[in-house]
Amino acid sequence: METRNQTGVENFLLLGFAEQMDLKPLLLGLFLSMYLVTFTGNLLIILAISSDFHLHTPMYFFLSKLSFADICFTSTTIPKMLLNMQVQNKVITYVGCLTQIFFFIVFGCLDNLLLTAMAYDRFVAICHPLHYTVTMNPHFCGLLTLGSWCLSVMGSLLETLTILRLSFCKHMEIPHFFCDLPEVLKLACSNTLINNIVVYFVTSVLGVFPFTGILFSYSQIASFILRISSARGKYKAFSTCGSHLSVVSLFYGTGLGVYLSSAATASSRTSLMASVMYTVVTPMLNPFIYSLRNRDMKRALGRLLGRAASLSDGAVGGLS
């Protein structure tokens, strides 16, 4: 079979929803709406936290970083998908594909590591409340965030740069709406053993280990809560981590769904729908989970929207 070494002049084809092109207006409107909700919801979370001093705590500090990561995570894939659907063009350049893979992995890993940092924050807050302000000081929180960024970028660089050594076959069709690394590796005509080893290594370091840390944190939290005598005390302790636990369940549940669907079936449509859940639905639901389940966040959003309405009314009054 003829192979061709990639130098950036070749293109990949993102098949995505090509089979559903008769539903293009519906799909375009649906995904555009979901993207706008995701962008707006997470942006409001960031603005509410930054503008309300009551929310200048480690938990909300990490939440604002998580919201930023979710905005970037969806912006890596959805705008390109919407553009391709609008102009009916399935092409993405080789460089564009590598860029998409790099940022997709960066912000996916960043989400994972930030959720781990938030789990540790909840562990300290519930199990060691007297040491909370000392342990979770601003300097330490900043180091956790910086470390999460550095690890995410290094892991993504490692996975992305190893693609450069591969050669690809002529028909480079990806059955997804974005450049998914496993699907890209399937198209390679050269040996992908090194790439697979790197993928498993990065997944273990930036996926399995953090998830193990989250499980350990919540096992300690559950053990501590069970030792609380009063039902009200148990509820109060659990309510402080309920939103985070919901987001963790959604994040890893959909991620596991993508993996299982890819491993259990060869159906590209099943894998495609699982990827939509993971890349679009989960980041969209996170702001709702934190705003609907959190009284402080509701108040902060109310004050933010109230100030925005006052400024809008003042501007209109000034013009009149």
pLDDT in tens, 256-276: 766 665 555 555 566 677 778
pLDDT digits (tens, 9 = 90+) for 171-183: 678 888 888 888 8
Average pLDDT over every residue of 94-98 = 91
Q: Within 13 Å, how many C-alpha atoms sit on residue 265's CB side? A: 11
How does pLDDT run across 148-201, given as a tens digit for each residue?
999 999 999 999 999 998 888 766 788 888 888 888 888 888 888 999 999 999
137-149 residue pLDDT tens: 999 999 999 999 9
What are the tens digits of pLDDT across the range 8-56?
Answer: 447 888 887 766 666 778 888 889 999 999 999 999 999 989 988 888 8
Poorest-confidence range of 6-20, 89-103, 240-254?
6-20
Q: How confident is the model at residue 237 (pLDDT cuts 50, 70, 90)?
A: confident
In order of 15, 87, 88, 189, 276, the CA distances from 20 in angstroms are 10, 15, 12, 29, 15
Identify the structural domains of the chain with CATH numbers, from first to last: 10-302 (1.20.1070.10)
Task: Write out the two tokens for 78.
Answer: 């959805």
Strands, E assignment, the chain: 3-5, 11-14, 91-93, 167-169, 173-174
pTM of the model: 0.88
Check: CB of residue 168 under 8 Å from CB of residue 11. no
Residue 152 main-chain phi, psi, to 5 deg: -65, -45
